[in-house]
């Protein structure tokens, strides 16, 4: 296969299959390496997978999306001619993988062709580096920093009596949608345009159909619920953890999370999640279950 472009530098030619727009040269001790930025295509899929697999926990969402959507999604990357150095999945929710923050300006320039994101979420240093590149054009409405990333394996999981948590079905979608909207109001109190009821139903139906939703329901109302935002063979990411206000302070959240993690750890070796640093009540619950902090995320809301 012929390369689809040619780098204008004295560096060694790029191997076939890595493409992108012309980038800026970066000087190293051994000469000049041509850095290029461009859309990720099918021939870069393996290189993108290698980049993301270098940190399977912090990149779990991106790894899951690559499995689900492939390279048809709006992926952008920085390449040094041999391997990918950084990548971002652009869209209303933009999620970066930028191990070296110096690569953030190149990705920020490239993704300005997309409509601006509503949320920028991911590993703390990568998110803040991308935000700094754009904040003079689009100030943030809110920055949530830091957000602890927690993880648990079977060895650390607390043993509790079983809770009546089960995988959700379509019969639960109405109750789950009400709980999700309530949680959104609590978590995103400054959101000026929350999704409408039909959007909640669509989203919850999608998660239920994937098998990514669990619920503890009594008398037709949600006592506790949680969903997944990512699934890979070695780690999953939990989202949407909610306990009904009337049930808080009674051990329901601890029992529900323990039951959920027990079921998930039958399928994968590691469960992870992230939360707002100011949510001390949730942090206490996760620590009681057995979670330990692995790192930090940040979220920028526009």
| Phi, psi values for residue 174, rounded to 5° | -60, -50
Q: How many CB atoms lie within 10 A of CB 134?
A: 21
Assess whether 195 and 290 both reside in one domain. yes
User: In the prediction, which pLDDT does 197 show?
Assistant: 83
Residue 231 lies in a domain: yes
User: In the prediction, which pLDDT does 188 show?
Assistant: 81
Give the percent of the chain with pLDDT over 70.
87
> Scanning the structure block, which residue is given the tokens 């754009």?
134
Assess whether 280 and 182 both reside in one domain. yes
Residue 263 CA to residue 168 CA, distance in Å, equals 13
| Cβ atoms of residues 140 and 301 within 8 Å | yes
pLDDT at 21 over 50: no
Sequential DSSP letters for 145-180 = EEEEEEEE-GGGPPP-PPP--EE--GGGHHHHHHHH
Which of 14-18, 45-49, 149-153, 191-195 has the lowest average pLDDT?
14-18
Assess whether 177 and 239 both reside in one domain. yes
User: In the prediction, which pLDDT does 46 show?
Assistant: 97
Q: How far is CA 114 from the centre of its chain?
A: 19
User: In the prediction, which pLDDT does 33 show?
Assistant: 75
Assess whether 117 and 190 both reside in one domain. no
Q: Which residue range forms the structural domain that includes residue 114?
A: 25-139
Assess whether 158 and 130 both reside in one domain. no
Assess whether 175 and 104 both reside in one domain. no
Assess whether 167 and 133 both reside in one domain. no
CA dist 8 to 24, 33, 103, 155, 183, Å?
10, 11, 19, 53, 52
Residue 73 lies in a domain: yes
Residue range 203-209: average pLDDT? Answer: 97
pLDDT at 247 over 80: yes
CATH of the domain at 201: 3.40.630.30
Of 291 and 27, the structure prediction assigns the larger pLDDT to 291
User: In the prediction, which pLDDT does 6 show?
Assistant: 30
Residue range 169-189: average pLDDT? Answer: 93
Residue 213 lies in a domain: yes
Establish how many alpha carbons lie within 13 A of residue 100's alpha carbon, considering only the half-sphere containing its beta carbon. Answer: 11
Of 185 and 228, the structure prediction assigns the larger pLDDT to 228
Size (the chain), residues: 302
- Name the average pLDDT for the chain: 89
Give the percent of the chain with pLDDT over 90.
83
pLDDT band at 189 (very low <50, low <70, confident <90, very high): low
Residue 275 lies in a domain: yes
pLDDT band at 200 (very low <50, low <70, confident <90, very high): very high
pLDDT band at 170 (very low <50, low <70, confident <90, very high): very high
* Assigned token pair, 48: 């993108």
CATH of the domain at 129: 3.40.630
Domain boundary among 90, 118, 139: 139
Assess whether 282 and 161 both reside in one domain. yes
User: In the prediction, which pLDDT does 190 show?
Assistant: 60
pLDDT at 68 over 70: yes
Read off the DSSP letter of residue 210. Answer: H
Residue 56 CA to residue 231 CA, distance in Å, equals 11
Residue range 20-42: average pLDDT? Answer: 63
- Classify burial at 68, counting beta carbons within 10 Å of its beta carbon; exposed 0-12, middle 13-18, buried 19 or more: exposed
Q: How many CB atoms lie within 10 A of CB 275?
A: 22
pLDDT band at 191 (very low <50, low <70, confident <90, very high): low
Domain boundary among 91, 110, 139: 139
């Amino acid at each position: 296969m012929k390369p689809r472009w040619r780098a204008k530098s004295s560096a060694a030619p790029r191997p076939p299959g890595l493409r992108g727009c012309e980038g800026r040269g970066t000087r190293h001790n051994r000469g000049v390496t041509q850095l290029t930025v461009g859309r990720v295509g099918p021939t870069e899929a393996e290189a993108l997978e290698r980049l993301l697999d270098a940190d399977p926990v912090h990149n779990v969402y991106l790894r899951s999306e690559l499995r689900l959507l492939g390279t048809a999604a709006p992926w952008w990357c920085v390449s040094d001619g041999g391997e990918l150095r950084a990548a971002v999945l652009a869209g209303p929710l933009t999620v970066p993988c930028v191990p070296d923050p110096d690569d953030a300006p190149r990705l920020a320039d490239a993704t300005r062709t997309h409509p601006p994101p509503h949320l920028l979420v991911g590993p703390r240093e990568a998110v803040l580096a991308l935000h700094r590149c754009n904040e003079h054009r689009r100030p943030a409405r809110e920055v949530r920093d830091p957000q602890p990333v927690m993880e648990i394996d079977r060895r650390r999981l607390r043993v509790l009596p079983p809770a009546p948590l089960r995988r959700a079905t379509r019969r639960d979608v109405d109750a789950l949608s009400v709980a999700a909207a309530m949680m959104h109001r609590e978590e995103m109190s400054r959101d000026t345009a929350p999704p409408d009821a039909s959007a909640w139903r669509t989203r919850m139906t999608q998660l239920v159909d994937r098998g990514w939703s669990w619920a503890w329901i009594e008398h037709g109302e949600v006592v506790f619920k949680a969903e997944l935002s990512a699934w890979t063979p070695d780690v999953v990411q939990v989202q949407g953890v909610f306990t009904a206000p009337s049930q808080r302070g009674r051990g329901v959240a601890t029992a529900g999370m323990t039951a959920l993690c027990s079921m998930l750890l039958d399928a994968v070796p590691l469960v992870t999640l992230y939360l707002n640093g100011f949510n001390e009540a949730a942090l206490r619950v996760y620590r009681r279950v057995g979670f330990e902090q692995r790192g930090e995320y940040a979220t920028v809301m526009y």
